[in-house]
Amino acid sequence: MFLSIKKFCPKFLENTDLTCFQTMKYHKDLDFFRAILMCLVILIHIVNFGDIYPSSKSAILSFMMPTFLVITGFLVNIDKSVKDFLRYIWQIALPYTIFVVGYAALSLYLPVRDSIKVFDIATISDILLVKSIGPYWFLHVMIVCGVIYYVTFHILPKINITAKYSLFASVLIAVSLWTPFLNIKMAAYYFIGVGIRLYVGDFSRIYKKSFWPIIPFGLLITQTAFHDWGAISTLICVLSFLCFSSFFFSFLRGRSEAVVAYIGRNTFPIYIFHPIFTMMSKFLLPLFRFEPSGILHALFTISISIVGSIYIAKFLDWSRLSYLLGRQKLLR
């Protein structure tokens, strides 16, 4: 359950290149983690669920995105040319811009959280560059942290990896302190993910498959005092989640395992398209009056969000319209 920090590259302190990145090991559990987290992302964006179960929503938020950020930091590869890295940033920034602006426009007419009052250049610039609205703030964090990550690891190529990692941390802190573009509580988990890639290499080595970590996890997320991302309890929840969820994943076989893995590989199109379906689901609430708990409505919304998002991506890939989002293909 505890993070084991080991030297991953020979003569690590003397290493002056990005060799460690080339030996990063992708584990199938990562797809399972991302699939579960994606379902939770959709769940907390269902307004009806949040209204009925505000404490459950807060509990999910206390560990969900920190876990996603750790995994994202681990997976980002900066061992590439400037041109290739800019292409990676463009593939995030273009859909981010399109969907944030679209969400902002819809918020003028639909009852959504984080709505805007005026649709003008100043407002759009603010929500794109400073305080992203809706569910797309995560892409903003990916862009800012990704750019800082790449620049700090390439600007002084002769220093060792630990020095580069320290420089990365310093710039993240400085940007968080003196600009409005980044929150250090978010950046910290991305930073941890990068550290796992550098010092461990194999993500599965930071956790052990076990049911028992669900106990401290449950005790922590049920206490609102521990819902602060800046607290060490959040990191404990992240590690506990990885342990017990990987334990449950080991029971999946055959088609169910393949379906979960497919969802995990395609979290990006699901993430950008799912608000379409969570917004639409509000209009379906009258059909679920027979079930006042809201659970059936939530499960239905999660299902149609995943299936609908994948079919939108399939259509865009088939029609080659994926290029409008900066990608040759959306689905993997």
Q: Dump pLDDT digits (tens) for 149-190.
A: 999 999 988 899 999 999 999 999 999 999 999 999 999 999
Closest C-alpha among 215, 219, 193 to residue 206? 193
Enter the tokens of residue 293.
Answer: 């708990």
Residue 240 covered by a domain: yes
Which residues constitute the domain of residue 229?
A: 12-325
Sequence-ordered alpha helix ranges (H) in 130-229: 137-154, 161-178, 184-199, 214-221
Neighbours of 6 (CB within 10 A): 9
Contact 265, 28 (CB under 8 A): no
Residue 332 covered by a domain: no
Residue 6 covered by a domain: no
Residue 26 covered by a domain: yes
Neighbours of 331 (CB within 10 A): 15
Enter the tokens of residue 150.
Answer: 């790449």
Residue 282 covered by a domain: yes
Residue 331 covered by a domain: no
Residue 4 covered by a domain: no
Which letter, b or e, does each residue of 33-63 get, where b requires 16 or more Cβ atoms within 10 Å of its Cβ? bbbbbbbbbbbbbbbbbbebbeeebebbbbb
From residue 12, alpha-carbon distances to 19, 115, 162 in Å are: 10, 49, 8
Number of helices followed by number of strands (H, E) in the chain: 15, 0
Contact 49, 43 (CB under 8 A): yes
Q: What is the pLDDT along the chain (332 residues), one digit of tens a residue?
A: 434 433 434 333 334 344 444 456 667 899 999 999 999 999 999 989 999 999 999 999 999 999 999 999 999 999 999 999 999 999 999 999 999 998 888 877 776 667 778 888 888 888 888 888 888 999 999 999 999 999 999 998 889 999 999 999 999 999 999 999 999 999 999 999 999 999 998 899 999 999 999 999 999 999 999 999 989 999 999 999 999 999 999 898 889 999 999 999 999 999 999 999 998 898 899 999 999 999 999 999 999 999 999 999 999 999 999 999 999 999 98
User: Using alpha carbons only, how large is the chain's radius of gyration in Å?
Assistant: 20
Say how far apart CA 116 and CA 128 lie, in whole Å.
13
**Number of domains the chain is built from:** 1
Residue 209 covered by a domain: yes
**pTM of the prediction?**
0.88
